[in-house]
Chain A
Amino acid sequence: MAIKTLGHLPANSEALPQESGVRPTGFKAQFQHATLPDLVQMESLTGSDRSLRVSSGQSSGYLMFSGGQVVHAMTRTLRGEAAALEILSWQHGSVEPCRLQLPEHPSITRTWQELVLRSAQRINEQRKDDRPVPEDLDDVEWLSSGEPETGASSERVRRRVIRAARLDARGQVVVARGDGDQEEFAELSAYAARMTQVVGEALGMTGFRALEWTLPDRNGLAYLEENGGLAALEALPQADLNALRRRVGL
């Protein structure tokens, strides 16, 4: 994370129109590993009354301080707290002070500490949400637990993995979880895997390793495990199955 900043410049810095005859004071600085929450904290602790323009890639937005509190924020599409949280989630970019007219009424009423905390929580949740399908089916908490959990974390996983099952080498269902008839999915996967083995043997293609199927609303993967068992899952098309493929050597 690297934020290039021209922060802690006075209002008459080069980032702003120069006032004739006034010599700029203060320091021009660059913080290579600062995060936006760090910079918000610095502004807040100094009781800042200025505005910052934040740029990150193609995105840009504004954070406006009054008495050290973030009272307004805006991006191209968002205003208020939503904009502040959006800006605070950006991982790299640059910051420079700018002059903006404060709105008559603040659009953000939370303290800066609450904002930073909510931002951190949101980033954390986004990271969890973006993670690929767990490399091991055991990592799917609702797969290894007795019943699917109803918490937010479980929901995020469930949004991508539709259903999953594991069978032992004798074809017995060890675990089956997810939407619909899970036992049926386990049996269907085992049947399909067996069918591909028979087809492969007839065609001289031995050593069945995995079976993948693609449907408009889901992708499926079934693979032989080292212990001779079969693991299978169906996930939404946007799920990244590559980590799982790599792990099982596909």
Chain B
Amino acid sequence: MRRTSRALLVVFAVGAAMLAGAAPALAHGGVVGEDLHVAASLGDRELTVIVRRVGPVPGPLRVDVVNHAGSPGGTLRIRAAAFGAVPAGDEVGLRLADGGGLAGVTLHVDRVGAWELALDDGRETARIPFVVPADVTPAWQWVMSGGYTAAGALLLAALGAAAFGRRTWPPLVLGGGAATAVVVATTAALLSQGMPEGTEIDPVTGRPPATTVPDGAARPHVNLLADAALVAGQRSPIDLRLVDGATGRPVDDLVVHHNALVHLVVLGPGGQFAHLHPARLGPGELRVWFRPSSGGEHRVYAELERRGAGTGPGGVQLVQTTLSAAGPALAETTPAGLGDRDLAGGTSVRVEASRLVAGEPSVLAAEWSEDGRPVRDLQQWLGMAGHLITVGPDATVGHVHAMPPAAVTGSAAAPDETVASGGPRIEFVYTFPTPGRHRLWFQVERDYEVVTVPVEVDVAAAAPRAEAGS
């Protein structure tokens, strides 16, 4: 009898060792949802709203708001409401610091599903959609923890039966059961390694999808309507309407894409540039405040992403329109080309590029320094180490990203905007589609301020291409 018990102990020890080996799979099995970062310009403020990962529901909801340099401080009224329901809890006041920084409040969520976070600055209310996901435990995890629990219980019972029982068969049967449970649990733990991380969550309901919709079908195109009475030198609102191209209904299925619902690029008649993030006021309605430096016709590009079929992505669209501003048209001073230049506050930047030939990938880099020392405290803006916007002679628009170093090392956790460890060199890879004069804007964040460096480059024509095939 003692030998049987010993043999079973060996089996159990092997199983336990395997469980230890499979531990990393457990770590990401239960994780559902992640921090949501949304950049939005609300009134005079440039904000990044961070909705932290939600734990069990009902429970607390942590919301942090990053204010940027140049945005006034003051109090925002914040409240969360489930879609189409009475707001849960009271409005909470959030005190923003002058000159940039992070402030947070704790709200309460009481159900799984689509939610809206309302931020009121006294003049306008931005409504940011988010989804509280159900905390779903994958089936393999149930099998695994159940299996090991059963194995433990059966083993104890077998030991008890062996020590105190009179018959020979109960310990054997119980021990066999324990071994079977270990095998089942270990199989589940090992199989889980090949399974996708987390569980698929329907972006509307916050629960695992009830029906399987084939992914990949894209939603219709979006029409962009812009309404504004712009005057050069005055800050006034641009009201945007997004309308579905197939039904004419408001488009209210935008997903947060590169940390914003909509990235708006406004180009003035003299090459003036602005990269803005309109705040959502309601379904298909967004607003952003803008001060044109010049009168004349402005080109407006909106980069957005609609939700796709099922849980799949819907694809990014770039929709455009024009707005005219009253006042004299001013030509912006032509930006410098490659090389060194001094910026405000003792900062300087060196812009470099590998050979610029149309159709060949080029490496474009901006290296930042302050008083001769390399800058190592750049912050992530919109989840990236840096952004590069390009406009070509034929009005092609490029939006290029530099990956933050965390992603290069394969870490899943994205650091906040508050972590200042980027720089000094931010590199981009872009293939200019056409030769000619291209205007580029390098954008990075430092001390909660977005720094934009305009550059003009000439791209050479490609050598005549050899005949493809033969």
A interacts with B: no
What is the interface of chain B, defined by CB distance below 8 A to chain A?
A: none
Q: Which residues of A contact B (CB under 8 A)?
A: none
